[in-house]
Amino acid sequence: MSNLQIAKILRQVAASYAIKNEAKYRFQIIAYQRAADAIEGSNLEIEELFKENKLEFLPGVGPSIRAHLEDLLTKGKVKHFEWVMFGVPKSVYPLLDVPTFGPKKAYRLVKEFSLQDPKSVISDIEKLAKQGKIAKLEGFGEKSQEDILRAISEFRLGIGKTSRMVLPYAFEAAEKLVGYLKASQHVVKAVPLGSLRRMMSTVGDIDIAVATNKPKDVISHFVSYPYKERIIEKGEATASILVSGGRQIDLMTQAPQGFGSLLQHFTGSKNHNIHLREYALSKGLSLSEYGIKKKTKSGKSTMVQVPTEEEFYQKLNMTWIPPELREDKGEIELAISHKLPKLVEQTDIKGDLHIHSSFAIDPSHDLGKNSIEEMVSQAKKLKYEYIGLSEHNPSISKHNSGQIYSLIARRNENIEQIKSSTKNIRIFKLLEIDILSNGKLAVDHKSLSILDGAIVSIHSSFAMSRDKMTKRVIHGLSHPKAKILAHPTGRLINQRVGYELDFDKIFDFCKKNNKALEINSWPTRLDLPDTLIMEAVKNNIKLVVNTDSHAVWQMDLMKYGVAMARRGWAKKNDILNTLGYNDFNEWLKM
């Protein structure tokens, strides 16, 4: 059962509680929703966590829900869930997927019109709305009837449910909008926040905060955005629009002197904010996007505004928390005790080791677009100390091992020539080598011996059992020259989930044998994912941040890999390519 399916069931339980007695089950509803959020947002498969007895490490899943999940995954049903859902027509649940429908509205309409069939309930409601029957109900009207019709039609078109954007695309979209907003003279500052600022690997909505003394003017400028499809809502301080492609953009405004609290609020994450606000409450403070409210002895409350985010956290006696950490994974406690780790920064990176040039090595996979010289020259521009050339190995179906050897040797000679005429940068002779389905490398020992090291990776036969795949990878990493496992999960964001690996075993092997895992910066890879980076860091596994560049411009993607490292709480000393040339070279030989 997938994470999404499990989360959906938990949301149905929450909705059922809400339908039965919202007041009575208020906290159960929150608990089930929070558990659903946690499961949906986890990159790790719940089914696997369950098998490994690690469900308890999932925040928001306590003893009760954990026991229910165990029943769900072993028996396929849960007595307690059946009890909660008893009496709620099954036709309520499909409606919950349609925006603007919550448990109350869905239940009300299902009951009012005796709609029993979950398969047809959405079109049944659409028909009723078209017949004007919904507007006649008490509490409904023409406008809500129209809203329902639009929501259903947009739901059918997939608007709002479109796949989440990869980071660079989201940056581009946000930049375009910020540029447009800044054309208004009333905009003092405009900053993209939300998951984009936290550098999540994918971004759903684009959130933008504006500092202004004229919120009304800014909002009317915002909703006149030329690429707008429609206005979702428009108020005194905030507004939301839908742009082409079905993407939502949310805007919040705040006076410049209170902008710090808006930055904090709108950056999130939701769970970070909830935890922070609960902590503040225990100190007698109430937090919101407007500032910090303090109750005085007379019972009145005063509001303190803060212009910067640093001051916001400072007023709570906490260290400022980097946005990448704001996921409620322990950062608040550490900020209170001023013990947050110092995260790795892009300027710490001394070299990029996963570089594909256009050298005619006749590779098994795609060749780079630019020459070795061009890639090296770009590395110099980026102020790197070293670069690793790591084209794919020569195709094994087209060449025998002797031919493979001479292709690699020719590339090495080419590198040597460039080395002799190049100053201020060192070059490693690497290669990205396929781990074949039997675990052997696609290049033999003799060819490996003329390399400084090898990056190994999986590019075929993805559908393998977890056990077999783990053995395959470990076998591939066993050669002394194989030092780095590239894009370890094989995932492609929005395209495929990747293969299954037992990371406990991989970590163990890497630690004992001085191997490193790659954090691949390619926007649709971002692999390792942040949650696994966090695990790796906890286990003291060495990591390398690479771009996997196939062209000069792609070497700028390093920032995304570093962002993932930071989201995984990696410090400078967790990342091997922050080492100077000599130290890195030493490690390669280990």
> Is the Cβ of residue 119 or residue 216 nearer to DNA in the bound state?
216
Q: For residue 339, what are the contacts with CB-CB under 8 A and spacing of at least 6?
A: none
In the chain, the amino acid numbered 173 is A
Stretch of residues binding DNA (CB under 7 A), selected from 115-123, 266-274, 420-428, 435-443: 266-274
- Kindly tell me which residue out of 22, 117, 175, 413 binds DNA, with binding defined by CB under 7 A: 22
Contacts (CB under 7 A) with DNA, residues 298-337: 333, 336-337
Nearest distance from C-beta of residue 119 to DNA, angstroms? 21
> Is the Cβ of residue 96 or residue 492 nearer to DNA in the bound state?
96
- Kindly tell me which residue out of 124, 154, 250, 432 binds DNA, with binding defined by CB under 7 A: 250
Distance CA 322, CA 314 (A): 13
- And the tokens for 559? 């920032």
- Kindly tell me which residue out of 1, 20, 30, 466 binds DNA, with binding defined by CB under 7 A: 30
- Kindly tell me which residue out of 34, 354, 392, 491 binds DNA, with binding defined by CB under 7 A: 34
Q: If binding is defined by CB under 7 A, does position 139 make contact with DNA?
A: yes
- Kindly tell me which residue out of 7, 35, 203, 404 binds DNA, with binding defined by CB under 7 A: 35
Contacts (CB under 7 A) with DNA, residues 453-512: none
Is 482:433 a contact under the CB 8 Å cutoff? yes
Contacts (CB under 7 A) with DNA, residues 159-218: 194, 205, 207
Distance CA 438, CA 434 (A): 11
> Is the Cβ of residue 180 or residue 290 nearer to DNA in the bound state?
290
> Is the Cβ of residue 29 or residue 375 nearer to DNA in the bound state?
29
Q: If binding is defined by CB under 7 A, does position 255 make contact with DNA?
A: no
Nearest distance from C-beta of residue 432 to DNA, angstroms? 40
Nearest distance from C-beta of residue 164 to DNA, angstroms? 13
Nearest distance from C-beta of residue 194 to DNA, angstroms? 7
Distance CA 105, CA 82 (A): 22
Contacts (CB under 7 A) with DNA, residues 39-98: 59-66, 80
Determine the length of the chain: 590
- Kindly tell me which residue out of 72, 239, 306, 404 binds DNA, with binding defined by CB under 7 A: 239
> Is the Cβ of residue 207 or residue 518 nearer to DNA in the bound state?
207
Tell me which H or E stretch contains 454: strand 454-457
- Kindly tell me which residue out of 201, 273, 520, 521 binds DNA, with binding defined by CB under 7 A: 273
Q: Please report the sign of the dihedral spanned by the C-alpha atoms of residue 282, residue 283, residue 285, residue 289.
A: negative
Q: For residue 471, what are the contacts with CB-CB under 8 A and spacing of at least 6?
A: 439
In 3D space, the residue among 549, 531, 533, 525 whose CA is nearest the CA of residue 167 turns out to be: 525
* CA 350, chain centre distance (Å): 25
- Kindly tell me which residue out of 48, 82, 175, 278 binds DNA, with binding defined by CB under 7 A: 278
Nearest distance from C-beta of residue 495 to DNA, angstroms? 25
- Kindly tell me which residue out of 20, 90, 186, 277 binds DNA, with binding defined by CB under 7 A: 277
> Which residues are registered as beta bridge partners of 247?
243
Q: If binding is defined by CB under 7 A, does position 31 make contact with DNA?
A: yes
Stretch of residues binding DNA (CB under 7 A), selected from 229-237, 439-447, 506-514, 577-585: 229-237
Kindly report whether the peptide bond that precedes residue 269 is cis, defined as omega within 30 degrees of 0: yes
Kindly compute the dihedral angle of the four CA atoms of residues 149, 154, 155, 159, in this order, to the nearest 10 degrees.
-160
> Is the Cβ of residue 32 or residue 499 nearer to DNA in the bound state?
32
Contacts (CB under 7 A) with DNA, residues 330-369: 333, 336-337
> Is the Cβ of residue 63 or residue 512 nearer to DNA in the bound state?
63
In 3D space, the residue among 397, 402, 480 whose CA is nearest the CA of residue 447 turns out to be: 402
> Is the Cβ of residue 101 or residue 522 nearer to DNA in the bound state?
101
Distance CA 228, CA 337 (A): 45
- Kindly tell me which residue out of 50, 101, 312, 499 binds DNA, with binding defined by CB under 7 A: 101
Nearest distance from C-beta of residue 503 to DNA, angstroms? 23
Nearest distance from C-beta of residue 234 to DNA, angstroms? 4
Task: Write out 506-566 in H/E/C secondary structure.
Answer: HHHHHHHHCCEEEEECCCCCCECCHHHHHHHHHCCCCEEEECCECCHHHHHHHHHHHHHHH
Give, in degrees to the nearest 5, the angle at Cα 580 between 575 and 585: 90
Q: If binding is defined by CB under 7 A, does position 235 make contact with DNA?
A: yes
Query: Residue 580 has what DSSP assignment?
Result: -
In 3D space, the residue among 73, 43, 72 whose CA is nearest the CA of residue 58 turns out to be: 43
In 3D space, the residue among 522, 519, 523 whose CA is nearest the CA of residue 535 turns out to be: 519
> Is the Cβ of residue 143 or residue 297 nearer to DNA in the bound state?
143
Q: For residue 54, what are the contacts with CB-CB under 8 A and spacing of at least 6?
A: none
> Is the Cβ of residue 37 or residue 434 nearer to DNA in the bound state?
37
Distance CA 477, CA 457 (A): 9
Distance CA 176, CA 243 (A): 12
CA atoms within 13 A on the CB side of 463: 0
> Is the Cβ of residue 103 or residue 368 nearer to DNA in the bound state?
103
Q: What are the percentages of helix, strand and coil residues in the chain, rounded to 5?
A: 45, 15, 40
> Is the Cβ of residue 312 or residue 405 nearer to DNA in the bound state?
312
Is 389:428 a contact under the CB 8 Å cutoff? yes
Q: If binding is defined by CB under 7 A, does position 28 make contact with DNA?
A: yes
- And the tokens for 185? 């003279």
- Kindly tell me which residue out of 157, 281, 360, 409 binds DNA, with binding defined by CB under 7 A: 281
In the chain, the amino acid numbered 241 is I
How many chain residues are in contact with DNA, going by CB under 7 A? 67
Stretch of residues binding DNA (CB under 7 A), selected from 142-150, 183-191, 352-360, 379-387: 142-150
Residues that bind DNA (CB under 7 A): 18, 22, 27-28, 30-32, 34-35, 59-66, 80, 99-106, 135, 138-145, 147, 194, 205, 207, 233-239, 248, 250, 270, 273-274, 277-283, 286-290, 293, 333, 336-337
